[in-house]
Structure 1
Amino acid sequence: MRWFLSLLSGVLFGAGLALSGMMNPARVRGFLDIFGDWDPTLAFVMGGAVIVMAIAWAIQRRITSPATDAKFHLPGTRDLDPRLIGGSALFGIGWGLAGLCPGPAIASLATSLVPAAIFVAAMLAGMLLFRLTEQREGF
């Protein structure tokens, strides 16, 4: 049952990305082009996501455990530190240059294999590089 709900969630997320146009790098770059031909579509997608997430958090507070696990595994809060700020900046720069972030990139493997595969390969290489340096530096 758990694998089925995970698969269903992934398919629903991918369908939402496709339907909203967020798998299209030109749409993302259009949103970031505030002094040119600005495309506000991404703002509406983000606003919709915030509303859905606010409802989900409100429901989660009233539930003692999720349907497929004994307890919720929620992230804790963290202070702003140089790693968080640097990682956020690096993510934003990559997102602006490529027009993709991890979720849409993986979903794009189904529609535009070669460009998405190049992005996903670079993303995985960056994750591996981080893991290697994190172990060495003791972050």
Structure 2
Amino acid sequence: MRAELAALISGTLFGAGLAIGGMTDPVRVRGFLDVFGAWDPTLAFVMGAALLVMAIAWRFVPRIGTPLLAENFHLPQKSDLTRKLIGGAALFGIGWGVAGLCPGPGIAALVIDFNAAAIFAASMIAGMAIVRLVEKASG
């Protein structure tokens, strides 16, 4: 129950931060990505703040023996670049540029503009299902 409550609070705080920061507004996101056109730098401040918070947090992780709600930290173990990783990152970037949303803000946007965000969320879920089917068939 404690972990579920922490997840609810964390998710709510994360979603509120995305909404307040403008990350759930596809027009603003596309403006941020349009570096050679009508560039809107406001999201750079949102991303910069997130990087600053994470840089500070990563300094504390080695000093903390175990997390509050788990037995250990689940830190990335792989550092190799694969074709699958690069292809996935490219698809993510293309989707972000076309839709103006990525998964976190897309889910948070369901509260703000359900109809538009629902199309994005349904497309995202369909894409994940297709990848699973293709991987299962090829592998």
TM-score (norm 1): 0.96
Q: Secondary structure at the match of 1:109?
A: helix
C-alpha deviation, 1:77, in angstroms: 2.3
Distance 1:136 1:78 in 2: 27
User: Which stretches in structure 1 are left out of the alignment for 5+ residues?
Assistant: none
Percentage identity across paired residues of the two chains: 60
C-alpha deviation, 1:80, in angstroms: 1.0
Distance 1:137 1:55 in 2: 42
Q: 1:135 maps to what in 2? A: 136
Distance 1:5 1:79 in 2: 32
Q: Map Cα deviations across residues 18-38 of structure 1 (whole Å, 9 max, x no partner).
A: 110110001110011122211
Q: 2:84 maps to what in 1? A: 83
Q: 1:62 maps to what in 2? A: 63
C-alpha deviation, 1:63, in angstroms: 0.7
Distance 1:46 1:80 in 2: 24
Distance 2:14 2:39 in 1: 25
Q: Secondary structure at the match of 1:66?
A: coil
TM-score (norm 2): 0.96
Q: Secondary structure at the match of 2:111?
A: coil
Q: Map Cα deviations across residues 81-117 of structure 1 (whole Å, 9 max, x no partner).
A: 1111111110000000000000000000001001100
- Aligned runs of 1:47-126 on 2, under 5 Å? 47-126=48-127
Distance 1:67 1:39 in 2: 39
Distance 2:135 2:44 in 1: 34
Q: Secondary structure at the match of 1:67?
A: coil
Q: 1:35 maps to what in 2? A: 36
Q: Size of the alignment, in residue pairs? A: 138
Q: 1:18 maps to what in 2? A: 19
User: Which stretches in structure 2 are left out of the alignment for 5+ residues?
Assistant: none
Say which is worse superposed, 13-22 or 34-43, in terms of deviation: 34-43
* RMSD across aligned positions (CA): 0.9
